[in-house]
Chain A
Amino acid sequence: MLSSELNYPELLRKRSGQIRMLREQATLSVRVAFLGGATTQELGTWLDLFLGKSGIQTIGYHGDFGRYFEEATLDTERLREFAPQVVFLNLGARDLIQALPPAATAADLEQAVGGTLGRIRDVCDALAQMGAVVIIPTIVPPPMHALGNLSAWVPGGASLHAALLNVRLAELAQQSAQVRLLDTQAVLSTGSEPWYSAERWFRYKIWRSGEAEMRTAASLASIVGALFGRTRKVLVLDLDNTLWGGVIGDDGVDRIVIGRETPRAEAYTAFQEYCLTLRRRGVLLAVCSKNDEAVARSGFDHPDSVLKVSDFAAFRANWNPKSENLVSIATELRLGLDSFVFVDDNPAERHLVAQQLPMVAVPELGSDPSDYARITDEGRYFEPISISDEDVQRAALYAANAVRSSTESAFANYDEYLQSLEMMAEIDAFQPVYLERIAQLINKTNQFNLTTRRYTLAEVEQMAGRTDHVTLYGRLADRFGDNGLVSIIVGRVVEQTLLVELWLMSCRVLKRGFEHAMFDALVDRAHAVGCRSITGVFIPSEKNGMVSDHYASLGFRSVPSDSTPGQQWQYDLSSASSPLNQFIQVKPRGQYS
């Protein structure tokens, strides 16, 4: 079982007791009516639980089975008397998709969807007049597909039918402030039970599986909570083993796990990216970490850290209890603790905060960084009620970019394509922060690797310090993002030639002309250390055939091999030559990205 904020078997057991306790703490009550073609009491109970966590007590109304249209538009007395603030139209494919003949035309489909939409619009109008906000779940295609995969694209297909219906429902929601959609597809993409349960339908007249019902209620609760101002606003983050792997105080900025180089590093990077997405959407980020402040801040100087210190609205790195720090952050930001979400990999810290500050949401993060974003997201803490002004400005920016990229959609030739990538590189001598990545790349690169020599981390550290060595690393970014550190050259000064013992490049940046940029840098360094030539070595292996012409293509000439293994190539530095790199802007260290 995946660790989860929405652990179905566990919540199934705890639900009743939790609802009772939460009810005592509720500060607001909301009248919610459930209308539709299924039994809705179970959904209502789940909603009690999830809204209870936002301090909202629900007063429920459950319509007669299948009579949603009549209750909303004709036989309205009971519902009017209830005066719903929110109505959930619990409708699904069973209610809204009447099977069309397999050979139905596009016009038939439009007509069917138009008819369905007309009924829903009438229902929404009537409910809006009662003062209710109507929430409609987007429709999942029915579970059986008699038409097979044709279902997705022929007009008589139920999947296409559902897709078109969802587009029309979205238009309805765009036109009316009192209609909102519940994104069923987002709910569907999580969880471990299937969406539909035929058995539950036959037994209870509930077509979602038990877990799907629970997750739907959690999503519904996030919308209702947002409608009543209970959306959370601040994401408070621990640092060590939460935003990066390792302990910054012990390991130092050079050794923390972040970036693209290992699966764990990728996972921490993905979580940072998720946090950044939230920040850009207006969620405030804060740090709460047991650390020395200067040491904690240094973690964000890591070149692969997605988040920067400037992304945080508040920063607490000290040795005080975290609950005290949260209180002080709340004071600083002038926001209630009930708008806080606290994310920490340490169960003891989570427990402490949950006990001391019950109004703070504390997701059960688990211990696997690949789950952090999913688990934080599952809580639906930051549900936006509308698109913010900031979002609107950002949209304008995107629009401008879209225009630009559409003009670039076709390339006359490969050079034009390379130009369009807007590549930028950082090329420099080995730096401490990169040594681990360098050792890793040395030991795993097989194809673009001229000598396939392997070195340990200790040996790499030694090379970096020696004056008779020229070391170069290269990082490459393009308009689509940062590729990270992808190329390495090591040369040793032997008399007046620079003997290139190692030259390799990650396959993810092949055919970008990056070897030219690296070569230009190598020529500069060779001049700087007083060499008259560069000697290249190619040691063929089973895997490095792609670089057999590497030195020839750079203008080296083949020379007879001496005692050293492999083919030797020589490049004369005395004849002036112009740089080979045309498409990559090489920036000094620190000005990259």
Chain B
Amino acid sequence: MDNILERLQPIFQDVLDQPGLQVSAEDSGQTVAGWDSLAHISLVAAIEHEFKVRFALGELEELKNLGDMIALIQTKRTG
């Protein structure tokens, strides 16, 4: 889980263009500046490419925060 979060950091830093940004499991679109609907499209695509996973329709919509997304990535990678 920590490993996934570590790999997510540079993706958020790049896509949101905030080099010092550190996101945490509790973060979401509400708490991170710049994580708007347009950035969300890029974040999802970049994460799918990074982890070689595909989020099915509905899966992303149910997530409350980044921790949920990390758990989902974890499930997809081990499943």
| Partner-B contacts on A (CB < 8 A) | 8-9, 12-17, 20, 41-42, 45, 199, 202-204, 206, 210
> Given A199-B57, A203-B57, A13 and B11 touching (CB < 8 A)?
yes
**Interface pairs (15), CB distance under 8 Å:** A8-B49, A9-B49, A12-B15, A12-B49, A13-B14, A13-B15, A15-B15, A16-B17, A20-B17, A42-B38, A203-B57, A203-B60, A204-B37, A206-B41, A210-B41
**In whole angstroms, what is the CA distance A9 to B52 when docked?**
11
In the assembled complex, the CB of A40 is this many whole angstroms from the nearest CB of chain B, namely 10
Q: Are A45 and B38 in contact (CB under 8 A)?
A: yes
**In whole angstroms, what is the CA distance A202 to B17 when docked?**
27
**In whole angstroms, what is the CA distance A525 to B60 when docked?**
81
**In whole angstroms, what is the CA distance A203 to B54 when docked?**
14
Q: Which single residue of chain B is at the shortest CB-CB distance from A14? A: B14
> Given A20-B17, A202-B57, A13 and B38 touching (CB < 8 A)?
no
Q: Which of A15, A17, A20, A202 contacts B42 (CB 8 A)?
A: A15
Q: Are B16 and A16 in contact (CB under 8 A)?
A: yes
Q: Are B41 and A42 in contact (CB under 8 A)?
A: yes
In the assembled complex, the CB of A41 is this many whole angstroms from the nearest CB of chain B, namely 5
Q: Which single residue of chain B is at the shortest CB-CB distance from A19? A: B17
Q: Which single residue of chain B is at the shortest CB-CB distance from A203? A: B57
Q: Are B17 and A210 in contact (CB under 8 A)?
A: no
Query: In the complex, which residues 1-43 of chain B have their Cβ closer than 8 Å to any Cβ of chain A?
Result: 10-11, 14-17, 37-38, 41-42
Q: Which single residue of chain A is at the shortest CB-CB distance from B42? A: A12
> Given A41-B38, A42-B38, A45-B38, A12 and B46 touching (CB < 8 A)?
yes
Residues of B within 8 A of A14 (CB): 14
| Partner-A contacts on B (CB < 8 A) | 10-11, 14-17, 37-38, 41-42, 45-46, 49-50, 57, 60
> Given A12-B49, A13-B46, A204 and B41 touching (CB < 8 A)?
yes
Residues of B within 8 A of A45 (CB): 38
**In whole angstroms, what is the CA distance A81 to B11 when docked?**
38
Q: Which of B11, B14, B57 contacts A17 (CB 8 A)?
A: B14
Residues of B within 8 A of A204 (CB): 37, 41
Residues of A within 8 A of B10 (CB): 13
**In whole angstroms, what is the CA distance A13 to B15 when docked?**
5
Q: Which single residue of chain B is at the shortest CB-CB distance from A41? A: B38
Residues of A within 8 A of B37 (CB): 204
**In whole angstroms, what is the CA distance A17 to B41 when docked?**
16
Q: Which of A8, A16, A199, A203 contacts B15 (CB 8 A)?
A: A16
In the assembled complex, the CB of A234 is this many whole angstroms from the nearest CB of chain B, namely 33
**In whole angstroms, what is the CA distance A210 to B43 when docked?**
12
Q: Which single residue of chain B is at the shortest CB-CB distance from A209? A: B45
**In whole angstroms, what is the CA distance A14 to B14 when docked?**
6
**In whole angstroms, what is the CA distance A225 to B37 when docked?**
28
Q: Which single residue of chain A is at the shortest CB-CB distance from B60? A: A203
**In whole angstroms, what is the CA distance A320 to B13 when docked?**
40
Q: Are B46 and A9 in contact (CB under 8 A)?
A: yes
Residues of B within 8 A of A9 (CB): 45-46, 49-50
For the complex of A and B, 9 pairs with smallest distance between CB atoms: A16-B17, A9-B49, A13-B14, A210-B45, A17-B17, A41-B38, A12-B46, A12-B42, A42-B41
**In whole angstroms, what is the CA distance A15 to B15 when docked?**
7
Residues of A within 8 A of B38 (CB): 41-42, 45
